[in-house]
Structure 1
Amino acid sequence: MLSLDKIYHAAFILKSVARKTDLIAAPHLSEGNNLYLKTENLQVTGSFKVRGAYYKISQLTPEEASKGVIACSAGNHAQGVALAATSMGIKSVICMPDGAPIMKVENTKRLGAQVELVPGAYDEAHDRAVQLQEETGMTFIHPYDDELVIAGQGSIGLEILDQLPDVEAVIVPIGGGGLISGVAFAIKSLRPEVKVYGVQAAGAASMYKAFHDHKYETLDHVSTFADGIAVKTPGENTYELISKYVDDIVTVSEDEIATAILTLIEKQKLIAEGAGATPVAAALFDKLPIKGKKTVCVVSGGNIDVNILSRVITRGQVTSGRRADLVIALQDRPGQLREVSEIVSSCGANVVGVQHNRSDADMDITGCFLRLELETRDAEQINEIRAKLTKAGFTLIDKNAAHY
């Protein structure tokens, strides 16, 4: 059974391996919120997962170690297992979803593991790992539903209480539930009055549904770019721990996660992956009752593929009103582009892209569509531009309309 003694023992074992990551005050991150960031994205493998993986592997018997270890992961647990096993001279095999970010796959190989890519999501990788474990006799290192793994993750809770003794709330990402189980157990055991909240991506809300329906559930599918928490089946042990020690679980949308990633980059100079940004997203979009409370957001990882990051930044800009696309129906006559440009310029926006379409079958024979891509300050500025264009007699077209 999980105990506080095991979490303290894990913290002791991890002293020479895992960083005691900084707890950074972020007073300007979200208006009205007193936020702190537990920067597990700056951990040795770029995520918290090395804690649980290393502690679990460190407790293997010599016979178990000689046979090697096997794991399934979308990337972060894979790197933790690979680092831990290699550092102890133990063979490791990792089954990863074939859609896992290339960076995570390559880093796992670089850390010494043998990688097998499995078609599908995390759950398919899990089934393949279980099959290989039965065939080889290797020890299966579960990414979240294991008491020693949970104890390792719980060391984060001890660090938070040490770094911010008067903490009032902690927000933690949830995939399978190992991280929040360990953190919540540690914090509630020592400071039961501290609130512990979980966050899931709306497209992968397995534990959210189980928690609120008060029954263990499995999703048919998941859909989120936050690959670190894209889990269809939550842990059974973690479900029990979360039901007992977690105060509430909420969900955030893809756009909200993207906005949180962008906000962390701009205001804190920190890179977070989708899963790691979910606590910040919950705070930014007022999903939890934390106003005025000293609140820690556990930024669980920073291993995001640069190609995905580029798209996420663009999405975050759109969501926060920093970028806008306007489609304007014009009469094809001289001077109209100049008039539009003057209006946009007078509002202080910057044009970064222009598309002039004269061949659409749905437009007037003497008309054209002008598509502008703008860099803007916020949603209010976008509305100002739209209002001035309309007042000047220009017709704005829904960019999602069938004819555009």
Structure 2
Amino acid sequence: MTTRPQPATVRIPELAEIIEAAERIAPYVEQSPVLELPLGLPGKRILIKDEGQNQAGAFKLRGALNAVMSRARSEISNGVCTVSSGNMAYAVATAARNAGVPMAAYMYAHAPQSKMDGVRANGGEVRVVSDETYWSYALGHSAPDTDWAYIYPVTDQAVITGHASIGLEIARQVPDVDLILTPYGAGGLTTGAASALHRLNHKAEVVAIEADVATPVTAALRAKQPVTVPMKRSFVKAIGAPTVIEGVWRATQELVHRSSVVTLAQTTSAMRLLFDKAKIVTEGASATSLAAAIHDPTLTGTILCVLSGRNIDAADYATVLQGGIPE
């Protein structure tokens, strides 16, 4: 049986839907904390919101839980599956364990070992596919042939609505925030957070952050349409793609009008700073938000940096702490 087709595009969820999702996932996801980093940078008050402190170590548990828990039991009883380079796989495995159903993740062979281990530790199955197949699934060009419920990590409406719960938290925790910096991978975190703030009529601007190894949303915002960009493989695996995913682009374009790009050196420096100043472990993608806050002079005011996750291989993290940039 072929998996059901995913919707062509996601819509901006209504406020009532976001509140319902937040209530649905609340038993499994505690509100993530907000801390201030007193860095003494002129014109910048920098706050961090650490999404790595949940069961799956990343913000994606929000969308994964909402997608699994909102489905009819009959739909997920055979099992649930997803495609992911790591964090969504880990998150869906965690959600499936909480729901008591089987789970499988389609991942490429060079996905971070820590994330593969996280899937298996939660009872999930890792199904390794070629890079070509992975990107076909990830960009929504095709889907696995299975009778399990397929949770597409980007244009599944329940995923985006679950991710939007972070925007509700931010509005409560930091009502005077000016800028919210979010690492931009597939677009779920950025678009989800921006959706909630849009529905709340909040003044804060959400900024998409990318590493310079792949900048599809920066290019798309400039061109006002999806374009293909060069992509270099790096240790920053949770963000970066050859293009934005068209199914989420329409919402992103409506809600997000600004991006910032950081280097790998700036990213690893931010990772070390987070450990030194706050004893927070982050993966590369997660630290790009803080790197942008520090290094982009156009970002000023009260800035909240969302730290998207902490799932990094031990060897890579050791290299970062020693002052290097992992391969």
TM-score, with length taken from structure 1 = 0.73
Alpha-carbon deviation of 1:112?
1.0
How large is the RMSD of aligned CA atoms in angstroms?
2.1
Do 1:224 and 1:230's aligned partners in 2 also have CA atoms closer than 8 Å?
no
Which of structure 1's runs of 4+ aligned residues deviate more than 6 A?
Answer: none
Matched AA of 1:313: L
Matched AA of 1:198: A
Do 1:23 and 1:36's aligned partners in 2 also have CA atoms closer than 8 Å?
yes
**Other structure's SS at 1:10 match:** helix
| Alignment partners' CA distance in 1, 2:91 and 2:41 | 31
May I ask how many residue pairs the two structures share in their alignment?
313
- The equivalences for 1:270-309 within 5 A come to 270-286=280-296, 288-290=298-300, 293-309=301-317
Distance 1:210 1:255, change over 3 A: same
- Hey, what does 2:217 align to over in structure 1? 207
Q: 1:348-387, CA deviations, whole angstroms, 9 ceiling, x for partnerless residues?
A: xxxxxxxxxxxxxxxxxxxxxxxxxxxxxxxxxxxxxxxx
Q: 1:88-144, CA deviations, whole angstroms, 9 ceiling, x for partnerless residues?
A: 122211011211111111111010111112233852563899543xx2222221122
- Hey, what does 1:138 align to over in structure 2? 148
Alpha-carbon deviation of 1:86?
1.8
Alpha-carbon deviation of 1:219?
3.7
Q: 1:264-308, CA deviations, whole angstroms, 9 ceiling, x for partnerless residues?
A: 111121111111101101011125331xx1111000101111111
- The equivalences for 1:68-87 within 5 A come to 68-87=79-98
Asked whether 1:19 is paired with 2:37, we answer no
Do 1:257 and 1:278's aligned partners in 2 also have CA atoms closer than 8 Å?
yes
Structure 1 gap ranges (5+):
318-404
| Equivalent of residue 190 in structure 1, options 188, 200, 212 | 200
- The equivalences for 1:100-111 within 5 A come to 100-111=111-122
- Hey, what does 2:262 align to over in structure 1? 252
| Alignment partners' CA distance in 1, 2:207 and 2:131 | 29
- Hey, what does 2:106 align to over in structure 1? 95
| Equivalent of residue 180 in structure 1, options 175, 187, 190 | 190
Alpha-carbon deviation of 1:160?
0.6
- Hey, what does 1:60 align to over in structure 2? 71
| Alignment partners' CA distance in 2, 1:143 and 1:211 | 22
TM-score, with length taken from structure 2 = 0.89
**Other structure's SS at 1:18 match:** coil
Do 1:144 and 1:179's aligned partners in 2 also have CA atoms closer than 8 Å?
no
- Pair member with larger Rg: 1
- Hey, what does 1:399 align to over in structure 2? none
Percent of pairs identical after alignment? 30
Distance 1:251 1:51, change over 3 A: same
- Hey, what does 1:341 align to over in structure 2? none
Distance 1:27 1:155, change over 3 A: same
**Other structure's SS at 2:131 match:** coil
| Alignment partners' CA distance in 1, 2:283 and 2:228 | 24
